[in-house]
A and B are shown apart, each in its own frame.
Chain A
Amino acid sequence: MKERLDRQTIALRVAKEFPDGAIVNLGAGIPTLAANFVPEGKTVIFHAENGVLGFGGVPANPEDEKPYYLGANGLPFSALPGMSFFHHADSFAMIRGGHIDITVLGALQVSEKGDLANWTFPERGIGNIGGAMDLASGCARVIIAMEHVTPKGQLKILKHCSYPLTAARCVDTIITDIAVIRVRKDGLVLEETAPGWTADEVQSLTEPRLTLSADLREIEL
């Protein structure tokens, strides 16, 4: 088996997408890890939907953890200069109102048109929408961070999502353990492949046809 990027390395690649000064909301799972990899010299303002902007990482000293300094992912955060708190109506006004530049979310399926399915699958019979529909439809840019296929090897990047949608035509960029793909008007563009992976190998694990970028290269870390 070829080597794939681990979750930390996917998160490292995700964080390279953040411009200096970006306001970013990170979903659960791999996206959360991206907070640890903000490139040196850049400032990113993190938003958590349970009502905080501009928070820092998990406190180095557990004694500094506070029960009311917990993010939407359940992890304790530390205070940074300029941090602010607000209620849920404001928090989602920021999301729907286009005040959050980037959200990074996980996905169960993504279609070639950028449709996202990430809140349930039919066999479960129930699922958690949470803030995902608001984030996916409201944020200026939606980045998906996920493994390219399921643990059982089923494809996740498809012509059409078969699972219930979170939002239609919302995804801008897909970053996986083997590739970086941009969703463009005329389809998916393969821009980067993991070390040791060819474009053909990535295509074989991707249902829709990938257009190769003129600048196709190895994933930059």
Chain B
Amino acid sequence: MKNKIFKTCSEAVADIPDGASIMVGGFGHAADKPQHLIAALRDQAAKKLTLIMNGAGVSGSLGIGALGGVPFTDEEILIRNGQVAKAVCSVPASLVMSKPGAFEKAFLAGEAELEYVPQGTLVERIRAGGAGIGAFYTPTGVGTLIEKGKEKRTIDGREMLLEFAMRADYAFIKAYCADTMGNLIYRGIMRSFNAIMATAAKVVIAEVERIVDAGELDPEIVVTPGIYIDRIVAAPGEVKP
């Protein structure tokens, strides 16, 4: 059987080409971000990337979502490094208006493209992509600028918008522990987008705190079955931005 374990994050992201689409997991907290993979991609320097994520790296440098407000590494380092052509996300702008983030500066300067997606629609589009569903109707966004250009239909007396599934070339996800088969378990709020993005990319790379032998994880508590995972890297702890 193919060995899924990579020794370093650099090796795990080495083949990502310019122009790739990449899902980056997590809600936006230090504990749910694949920080080492993001840092490795910065060093690898692929350009013209499309990033699909909840927030465009808007909390890491502010330390929002980290104990003690300590800054951590998130997507913003890729934007600062000029690698991102487009963001598909629900939170593109800084959470603190007086401290604008790298993405909003790039977007307002016309240097990056943005597709707004409400958070629940975003995760459902990814879920659908991973589940082989082409599209779905949702009430979220009706009567707002999100409905622009979208098919609208009344179902059970309620207006809904047609939203299409989404997949990517790569997904970076964070979990607590993997076994050698790629089965994953999480801790606390780490599941977030990670457990969903794990299903929806051609190459899914999991950054975990530790790797154990197959058989050591209780199958009753596995959250992400190993068939979704292509590459596993043990990279404990955080990366200073």
* Of the residues B54, B92, B93, B188, contact of A85 by C-beta under 8 Å: B188
Chain A hits for B58, CB < 8 A: 128
* Nearest-neighbor residue (CB-CB) of B25 within chain A: A88
- Of the four ranges (under 10, 10 to 19, 20 to 34, 35 or more), the interface on chain B belongs to 35 or more
Q: Do residues B196 and A72 form an inter-chain contact, with CB atoms below 8 A?
A: no
Q: Mark A73-90, 1 if CB is under 8 A from B, else 0.
A: 010100000000111110
Which of B8-16, B38-46, B140-148, B210-218 binds A? B140-148
> How far does the Cβ of A94 sit from chain B's closest Cβ, in whole Å?
10
Contact A87 B91 (CB under 8 A): no
Given contacts A74-B65, A130-B91, A138-B120, contact A51 B140 (CB under 8 A): no
In the complex, are the beta carbons of B189 and A70 less than 8 A apart? Answer: yes
Query: Contact flags (1/0) for B51-65 with A, using CB distance below 8 Å?
Result: 000110011000011
> Which positions 143-175 of chain B face chain A at CB distance < 8 Å?
143-146
Using Cβ atoms and an 8 Å threshold, which residues of chain B touch A115? 143
| A76→B67 contact, CB < 8 A | yes
- Most central of A70, A76, A169 by chain B CB within 10 Å: A70
**Bound form: Cα–Cα A19–B71 in Å:** 38
Q: Residue B119 contacts which of A48, A85, A87, A134 (CB distance < 8 angstroms)?
A: A134
Task: For A83, give the chain B residue with the smallest CB separation.
Answer: B188
Residues in B whose Cβ lies below 8 Å from that of A67: 29-31, 66-67
Q: Which residues of A sit under 8 angstroms from B90, Cβ to Cβ?
A: 128-131
* Overall SS of chain A's interface: loop
Are B193 and A127 touching (Cβ within 8 A)? no
Please encode chain B, from 99 to 121, with 1 for each CB lying within 8 Å of some chain A CB and 0 for all others. 00000100110000010111111
Asked if residues A85 and B59 are in contact (CB atoms below 8 Å), the reply is no
User: What residues of chain A have their CB less than 8 Å away from a CB belonging to chain B?
Assistant: 48-52, 65-72, 74, 76, 85-89, 91-92, 95-96, 115, 120, 124-134, 137-138, 164-169
Closest 6 CB pairs of A and B: A68-B188, A92-B120, A168-B143, A134-B120, A50-B27, A87-B195
Subset of 21 A-B contacts with CB under 8 Å = A65-B67, A66-B67, A66-B188, A67-B30, A67-B66, A70-B29, A70-B188, A70-B189, A86-B191, A87-B191, A87-B192, A87-B195, A96-B120, A125-B107, A126-B108, A129-B118, A130-B119, A137-B139, A165-B144, A167-B144, A168-B142
